[in-house]
Structure 1
């Protein structure tokens, strides 16, 4: 009778990605899994990692997380979220989503059951302007998309000016990120769910 040889199953693509890139620390492994999901399942491009260092000293400020927080930013193939007032402005001015320049979106990787508080999220939003500015300086895609039609170009220029103003006044909502939650619990299949999280209180809409 021939000897039966036991062979180890081949590692999955995400497991190989985590191991080969030395992302075995818990926060790095979760970020690597989310990045893999964004790139290969949701077709995001220009993905970049950002790290908020943890503060492990006993004298750390109340708002500082003990463990590092890893963020990911990139360009989704389509807009993830459009504020209703911004959508109304686009409709009134006949501006299509395809007319606009890509918008970099930030993602916060987490796992189901991971301790996460409003304090942690506040730290993310406090550091977000710094990461946005860094990405803007390094990213050639941040230039305004040109339009062949002069009338369309004028409308787009008005839109970008309006969006910059709305960013200061929060007329079109506050800063927002995606919270990525990976199912790693008992029997979890590694599914990643994404939730839009906005900074501060969201003003209710009046119909």
Structure 2
């Protein structure tokens, strides 16, 4: 299913913004028959989102270790929309129903395992199969300004600051 011209241009604006303004790697378009429009996915240069419960576990682990825990970036979904589009909760729900929590090329480990083959620390378990569905909503304005917002499948408690 080919995207109409205006959707193709919208996707192109967001794709270029991610690659050239925000230094994302491997940004690709995802076209699926069960999606009403294409999504993008790619790898940001740094980790963009930490689940609030994972954040607590990381702080505890850093305190025990006495050193910071590196936060590797994760492959993320991106939904390009134009500011003038009106989307309902049902449309967002349909997109969430059509995707996996982890985009293609992301880490989808059955069990979190460390380098020595043992089970990793508890904070690591928030990645991979336990990761909730989330999409970075890329809202494009008429002047090609792109604003990004997180949207989640279901309720997510607020982060600790």
| TM more than 0.5 | yes
Please tell me whether the aligned partners of residues 110 and 180 of structure 1 are also in contact (alpha carbons under 8 angstroms).
yes
Task: Name 1:198's counterpart in structure 2.
Answer: 152
Task: Name 1:86's counterpart in structure 2.
Answer: 54
RMSD of aligned Cα (Å): 3.6
Task: Name 1:123's counterpart in structure 2.
Answer: 94
Separation in 2, partners of 1:191, 1:117 = 23
Structure with larger Rg: 1
| Alpha carbons of structure 1 residues 205 and 180: separation in structure 2 relative to 1, 3 Å | closer
Please tell me whether the aligned partners of residues 175 and 198 of structure 1 are also in contact (alpha carbons under 8 angstroms).
yes
Give matches, 1:13-52, under 5 Å.
25-52=5-32
Separation in 1, partners of 2:61, 2:147 = 34
Separation in 1, partners of 2:125, 2:108 = 17
Using the TM superposition, give the Cα deviation of residue 75 of structure 1 relative to its aligned residue in structure 2, in angstroms. 0.6
Q: Helix, strand or coil: the match of 1:69?
A: coil
Using the TM superposition, give the Cα deviation of residue 110 of structure 1 relative to its aligned residue in structure 2, in angstroms. 0.2
Question: Normalising to structure 1: TM-score of the pair?
Answer: 0.60
Aligned residues: 153
CA offset digits 1:76-96 (Å, max 9, x no partner):
111111122211111111274
Listed as ranges, the gaps of 5+ residues in structure 2 are: none
Task: Name 1:183's counterpart in structure 2.
Answer: 141
Task: Name 1:18's counterpart in structure 2.
Answer: none
Larger RCO: 1 or 2 (CA < 8 Å, sep 6+): 2
Question: Normalising to structure 2: TM-score of the pair?
Answer: 0.76
Give matches, 1:9-158, under 5 Å.
25-53=5-33, 68-94=36-62, 96=68, 99-129=70-100, 132=103, 135-136=104-105, 157-158=120-121
Larger relative helix fraction: 1
Separation in 2, partners of 1:145, 1:190 = 43
Listed as ranges, the gaps of 5+ residues in structure 1 are: 1-21, 55-64
CA offset digits 1:161-187 (Å, max 9, x no partner):
6225982xx7xxx32111000001xxx
